Amino acid sequence: MRIKTRQDRRQRIKFRLRKRIAGNVERPRLTVYRSLSHMYVQVIDDMSGKTLASAATNEPKLKSGLSGKTSGGNIAGAQFIGKTIAERLLEKGIKKVVFDRNGYLYHGRIQAVADAARKAGLEF
């Protein structure tokens, strides 16, 4: 696979990470996707192929929490999504997850999601 674009590079890193990271019933995989204007977070049990919980900055329920300078495209919005997904998982009784940065650098919004989820009670 030749790396011609930024997306090719991210895809290659993503495949390399996914060889080592897999979610199961005890520790599902928390994966993050970021676009320019939104953040999407899913918690997946790879053994059964089911999504256990998800959160996104464009959900109608969460748009009320995103006000003022908080949006899906900045660090404040990423922290809000990290806290939200942690609360949803703790309601379901899941405390431990495996963090999948999905080929992105662990920096900026990706790091903000992870730190907020840890602060809200998740372990990874």
> What confidence tens digit (pLDDT) does each residue in 9-23 have?
999 999 989 889 888
Q: What is the pTM of this model?
A: 0.88
- Phi then psi dihedrals of residue 78, to 5 deg: -65, -40
- Lookup: tokens for 20: 């080592």
CA dihedral 16, 42, 10, 14 (to 10 degrees): 10
CA–CA separation, 9 and 117 (whole Å): 27
> What confidence tens digit (pLDDT) does each residue in 43-56 have?
999 999 999 999 99
Among 4-18, 58-72, 109-123, where is mean pLDDT lowest? 58-72
The average pLDDT across 28-39 equals: 95
Ordered by where they begin, the domains of the chain are: 6-119 (3.30.420.100)
**54 in Cβ contact with 43 (< 8 Å):** yes
What number of helices (H) and strands (E) belong to the chain? Answer: 4, 4
For residue 99, pLDDT over 90 is answered with: yes
| DSSP-based three-state secondary structure for 39 | strand
Tell me the residue length of the chain.
124
2: confidence class by pLDDT, cuts 50, 70, 90 = confident
Handedness of CA 2, 6, 12, 13 (dihedral sign): positive
For residue 1, pLDDT over 80 is answered with: no
> What confidence tens digit (pLDDT) does each residue in 63-92 have?
887 777 788 889 999 999 999 999 999 999
